[in-house]
Chain A
Amino acid sequence: MAFATKNRQLLSRIATNDRPGENSPYFEGWKAYDSNPFHPTQNPDGVIQMGLAENQLCFDLIKKWILKNPQASICTAEGVDKFKDISIFQDYHGQKEFREAVAKFMGRVGGNMVTFDPNRIVMSGGATGANETVMFCLADPGDAFLVPSPYYPAFLRDLRWRTGLEIVPVDCNSSNNFRITRAALEEAYERAQRLNINVKGVIIANPSNPLGTTLDRETMRSLVSFINEKNIHLVCDEIYAASVFSSPRFISVAEIIQDMDCNRDLIHIVYSLSKDMGFPGFRVGIVYSFNDLVVHCARKMSSFGLVSSQTQYLLASMLSDEEFVENFLKESSQRLAKRHRVFTHGLEQVGISCLKGNAGLFSWMDMRPLLKEQTVEGEMELWRVIVNEVKLNVSPGSSFQCSEPGWFRVCFANMDDEIVEIALDRIGKFVRQGKEEDVAPKKPKRWQKKLHYLFCCCR
């Protein structure tokens, strides 16, 4: 033990704090899944992974394209002559064709309402690296960013861990569908002021994770006007931009500022191909800033997390194929819409409603009626039952810093249709059981007994 302590003292403060956040209950669900993962034939009683926002619906289209375009690879007969040039290319500006293709893709995803400048495209190690890089450029240790809640749990790590920044949540709640109101922004800003915290900006995810909704034009304009007045930065994580599957359409901040008087040096976009294309493994993060200094600084910083030139080359080819992109985006949107419809309808059938969503790879499920108590503890109790008994890894709202207990994010795009059905079936059974027990003579609910057992045995 003494040695372990001595060991820890050898490392830095950053190495020994808990900002990576992996001790949170959020990861219990992961562990439950990892130790007992569902498989339709080999482990049909295993835990179904519904905590992973992945887009697995369109790989057939991608596979077809790949087989038709061998020149996109530096390892095929058609492409190998490029191998040397590509493998030695480490210029932090990135391949020109890659930047052009990404800029064009972002424009197309934004409905061609904006043209993105390839010279503002800066690479990073996934959106994870992009968000961190932007923070390093905009704020000093101890400064803070306002973040509307509920928000992506890993922001706690990405925005704060190595940068030393703080997050000040902007409370949004279900009374108005978690809208980001001017009042909430002002309240958060003033709260920070009272605590002597220097607010450097606001960071939003649009479309929202975990809500699965897009911000309307009015809210966007109000946000831009807020940050402009306060002279603070606005960072828009638009990583789910192409996952919008029903109206209203996606409106990028790049589009909003075209019609607004605002200081463009305050506007920055983070993007990635992890969600829209389904390529999280390829680590394609993008920083797009309207501020020249930030572009230059982020570009130098990108040395710490450039996109592999092999991957740049492949994606440059794929994303500059306009026909492919057009078709892909259309199909992806349709398939997401269908999956969303099937899933939310299935939930409705058993009396579970979701926030009305039009984007993302997940639904924001309202389980408040099932809580024993309307508290975070009540939510965690229910969650443990869902993970360990219903055997679905869903994500509790508290892990997204949601201010109201009872909401859960459920991902639906990382599995095939059959598994969706099985998951809905399990949920249905669980809800019906709960109802039956409600009308039966009072005895400890089965899941309460099991919960007691669980608490005794786990951790």
Chain B
Amino acid sequence: MAALSKIAAGNGHGENSPYFDGWKAYETNPFHPTDRPEGVIQMGLAENQLCFDFIKKWLMKHPEASLCTAEGVNKFKETALFQDYHGMPEFRQAIAKFMGKVRGDRVKFDPDRIVMSGGATGAHEMVTFCLADPGEAFLVPTPYYPGFDRDLRWRTGVELVPVICESSNNFKITRNALEAAYEKAQEDNIRVKGLLITNPSNPLGTILDRETLKSIVSFINEKNIHLIGDEIYAATVFMEPEFVSISEIIEEVECNRDLIHIVYSLSKDMGFPGFRVGIVYSYNDALVSCTRKMSSFGLVSSQTQHLIASMLSDDDFVDNFIIKSKKKLFKRHEYFTWSLSQVGIGSLKSNAGLFIWMDLRKLLKAKTFEAEMDLWQVIIHEVKLNVSPGSSFHCHEPGWFRVCFANMDDDTMETALLRIRDFMRKNNAAMIPHNKLCRRSSLKLSFSRRVDDFMSPGIMSPHSPLPQSPLVRARS
């Protein structure tokens, strides 16, 4: 057979990593409350499923948002024909407004800088193609989203150089760490073209404080390299401190704006990963122009642009949605972290995202990544939860796991927590030194509080098991 390309023959797609074992375990044995109550519960998928009832209500009140209703069908033809890579003006305006609202209207976004892409996946690849040549690199603070290995590197030939962040200071991105990574790249003869940060962070669930952001902007400015801020979780900040966007920082700090770029999407904040709404927002005119041309490879379906334009230009809806979403995330997060703490599991203090960064270091047989993998295999196959091991996020220290909590209903969450409780009960017996065993009665673990204590009445999400589908590839 004629050979395929090197790109096709290689492993750049990243799917051979152990990270996907958890997916496979889930796929072959997915949990269902009645059909398969012993199945694997999916906690490796960062989806926001908490606000669909609110969206459904809006849809019923706005038939004109669809091209397929009597009210909207007269727009069908012109919309179906619309393939202009500038995107629909109403769509860009609505997105720009939404992005502003999510940042508390502290910044205004220019609709003419909004460029579409095939989800954030497409946005990242596109920005990388435009900012770096094959062999060049971006710095990326660890731990980071595993999909970056594919999105930024696979077809572009660009490298990623990790900026090591550690639990000793809550994984803060320090100036020292940035400089160290930059110098290491220099030593290895790798040309660094930029720094990619995810704020709020996946997998940490934290936001960058103002000081860190300023330090980052000053760093990239000095080195004359790009700063790409992936702000895909911006609206999931459910608790103080308030989210600070790069777009705000550059109003306060002197810097070359041609180096500043934001990647955004509606996949997490709205819960619409299927709609593939990726956005590139750059302060660099040449980049806007170039990415706009490139967006032809992954435009947003005009049908979806039409719907989103309508939805996100409804100020009332947007304001309420953002508040509701935060409230639900807050409650879910509170209950989940509290329940874990009851059984002796801590997590990084977080205020954003659809997951927590769980600390299972004390459960490791050894402080190694092999031990982490062993523990992870146990969690998947015995506890039957698909969580994501820290090593798949290039975490520098073994023992951390990302656990998603916003992609399931309350009952499923209870089931997951019970399994964790049972597991910890067994493990505590193993962990506790001999002379404490007689005190086993004090280990009675129960949840004295229920999720209802944390949830306001009336918010019982309908059961919604994930559909049984072929291997799901999510931006998780």
Contacts and interface: CB of A to CB of B under 8 A. Distances in A.
A279 interface: yes
B73 A66 contact: yes
A128 B63 contact: no
A92 interface: yes
B297 A304 contact: yes
B192 to A, nearest CB: 13
A278 interface: yes
B13 A136 contact: no
A10 B259 contact: yes
Contacts of B303: 281-282, 308, 310-311, 314
A14 interface: yes
Nearest to A71: B68
A231 B49 contact: no
Interface in B1-36: 1-2, 4-8, 13, 15
A93 to B, nearest CB: 5
Contact of A308 (B69, B275, B284): B275
Interface string B276-319: 10000000111100100110111111111001000000000000
A87 B275 contact: yes
B438 interface: no
Interface in A1-35: 7-8, 10-16, 20, 22
Contacts of B290: 11, 15-16, 20
Residue from B15, B65, B285, B297 whose CB has the most chain A CB atoms within 10 Å: B297
Given A13-B133, A75-B65, A263-B1, A278 B73 contact: no
Contact of A92 (B1, B69, B131, B473): B473
B195 interface: no
A15 B276 contact: no
Contacts of A263: 1
B59 A80 contact: yes
Contacts of B297: 125-126, 128-129, 132, 158, 162, 304-305
A233 B5 CA distance: 12
B294 A88 contact: no
A313 B130 CA distance: 33
A7 B283 CA distance: 12
A: contact size bracket: 35 or more
Contacts of B77: 56, 59, 62-63
Interface stretch (A212-220, A295-303, A325-333): A295-303
A137 B4 contact: yes
Give the dominant DSSP class at A's interface. helix
Contact of A136 (B8, B73, B79, B193): B8
A7 B118 CA distance: 26
B66 A76 contact: yes
A209 interface: no
Interface in A58-81: 59, 62-63, 66-67, 69-70, 72-73, 75-77, 80
Contact of B122 (A62, A75, A201, A305): A305
A339 B82 CA distance: 22
Contacts of B275: 87, 308-310
A307 interface: yes
A253 interface: no
Contacts of A421: none
A162 B5 contact: no
A300 B73 CA distance: 34
B85 to A, nearest CB: 10
A83 B259 contact: no
B55 interface: yes
B47 interface: yes
Given A12-B133, A128-B296, A308 B301 contact: yes
Contact of A304 (B83, B125, B293): B125
A140 interface: yes
B129 interface: yes
Nearest to A284: B301
10 contacts: A12-B133, A15-B129, A54-B81, A66-B67, A72-B68, A91-B472, A125-B118, A125-B297, A129-B297, A162-B155
Given A297-B7, A308-B274, 10 more contacts: A7-B286, A14-B129, A75-B65, A83-B59, A88-B273, A91-B474, A162-B294, A201-B2, A297-B4, A305-B122
The 3 closest A-B pairs by CB, nearest first: A309-B274, A281-B302, A73-B68
